[in-house]
Amino acid sequence: MTGEGPSVLKSRDVKGVAEYMKSDQCRKVFVMAGAGISTSAGIPDFRSPETGLYHNLQRLNLPYAEAVFDIDYFRENPIPFYTLAKDMDPSKFRPTITHSFFKLLDKKSLLKMCFTQNIDTLERRAGLSGDKIIEAHGSFAANSCIDCQEPYEEEKMKIAVEKGEPARCASCGGLVKPEIVFFGEGLPSSFFSTVPQLRTGDLLFILGTSLTVMPFAGICKLAPPSCPRVLINLDAVGDLGSRPDDVLLLGDCDGVVRELCKELGWLEELEDLWAET
Ligand code: CNA
């Protein structure tokens, strides 16, 4: 289908997207987000060359980079994860202007749901309410035992992470970890019950993700052909670009979001929302 002209949008660029967003056709907006929306907050993503976590994991002496988020490896050796968790402590970071854009979409009564792979809770910290976020890979917001699932107190967990000493469950002695989804673990049921909503979407933004982790990566295909899919990312990913109304806005997401909001006449409001975070 590449090469065909758009059918829903007037043009496959910022102007075309902004014009569509202001029309009555565009009522239900969905967001799919990944680690790239938090890099400007200072949290490294996984796969960016040089700066990504996978590039910088040598110091943890892992057998392979993904092992740091592998549940079987964690049982054997939880130290690398605890070392990483210290660097990723969400309370140390401020939401980016891209996170505030999601809040702005919500304020304009456009946002239906924000599906995020991120575990940093910055969507919440940007003011988005829990009923508008699906944290598909869990988050650092809660901690529990990997064996008996007994919840573990946040303050005690902070101390364990700070010391780099894996916390143990008071009931069964099992290892404790934040409720983030490791490789080898299932996604939350809320993810599976909510993704079908994407079939009703009028517009889907996909931001800061390499679209490589399944099943999350596959859900962008659920958007119907009448729903333009807008990729805001440093590089082209997945099958984006294969549909007539796919828009590739390649570049830094904060910059592209500002450009789009300028076109929409929303820039000042966006900056004000961000200033509040
Ligand atoms: P990824 O595989 O690291 O891909 C990130 C993508 O974002 C790449 O395509 C980059 O080119 C792009 N990118 C990086 N910086 C920018 C930027 N400033 N503007 C636009 N695009 C940018 O990360 P994914 O999210 O796709 O992978 C899924 C993993 C990463 C999930 O399981 C997450 O839990 C995990 N993760 C989350 C965080 C976080 O919560 N902030 C950090 C690191 C990893």
From CA 277, how far away is CA 274, in angstroms rounded? 5
Share above pLDDT 90 across residues of the chain, in percent, rounded to a whole number = 81
* pLDDT value, residue 90: 78
Report the nearest-CA residue for atom 39 of ligand 1: 118
- Which residue type sits at 247? V
Q: Which of 75, 53, 56 is nearest to 185 (CA)?
A: 75
Structure tokens that stand for 194 in this block: 């909510």
Using the predicted structure, report yes or no on whether residue 2 has a pLDDT greater than 90: no
Report the nearest-CA residue for atom 11 of ligand 1: 234
Starting at the edge strand that comes first in sequence, how are the strands of the sheet with 229-233 ordered?
A: 133-135, 111-116, 29-33, 203-207, 229-233, 246-250
Distance from the alpha carbon of residue 154 to the mean position of ligand 1, in angstroms:
26
Report the nearest-CA residue for atom 43 of ligand 1: 45
Residues belonging to the active site: 137
* pLDDT value, residue 27: 97
Computed over every residue of the chain, the mean pLDDT equals 93
Distance from the alpha carbon of residue 213 to the mean position of ligand 1, in angstroms:
10
From CA 217, how far away is CA 238, in angstroms rounded? 8
pLDDT band at 58 (very low <50, low <70, confident <90, very high): confident
Report the nearest-CA residue for atom 32 of ligand 1: 117
Contact 96, 122 (CB under 8 A): yes
Q: Which residues line ligand 1 (CB under 6 A)?
A: 34-36, 38-40, 43, 45-48, 52-53, 117-120, 137, 208-210, 212-213, 233-235, 237, 252-253
Mean pLDDT, residues 116-128 taken together:
95
pLDDT band at 60 (very low <50, low <70, confident <90, very high): confident
Lowest-pLDDT range of 29-33, 114-118, 185-189: 185-189
pTM of the model: 0.92
Q: What Cα–Cα distance (Å) separates residue 17 from each residue in 4, 166, 234, 263?
A: 17, 47, 18, 9
Mean pLDDT, residues 153-178 taken together:
95
* pLDDT value, residue 1: 44
From CA 56, how far away is CA 17, in angstroms rounded? 37
Using the predicted structure, report yes or no on whether residue 3 has a pLDDT greater than 70: no
* pLDDT value, residue 66: 85
Q: Mark the binding-site residues for NAD(+), compressed into ranges.
A: 35-39, 45-47, 117-120, 209-210, 233-235, 253
Mean pLDDT, residues 88-105 taken together:
92
Ligand 1: atom nearest CA of 53 is: 43
Q: Mark the binding-site residues, compressed into ranges.
A: 35-39, 45-47, 117-120, 145, 148, 169, 172, 209-210, 233-235, 253
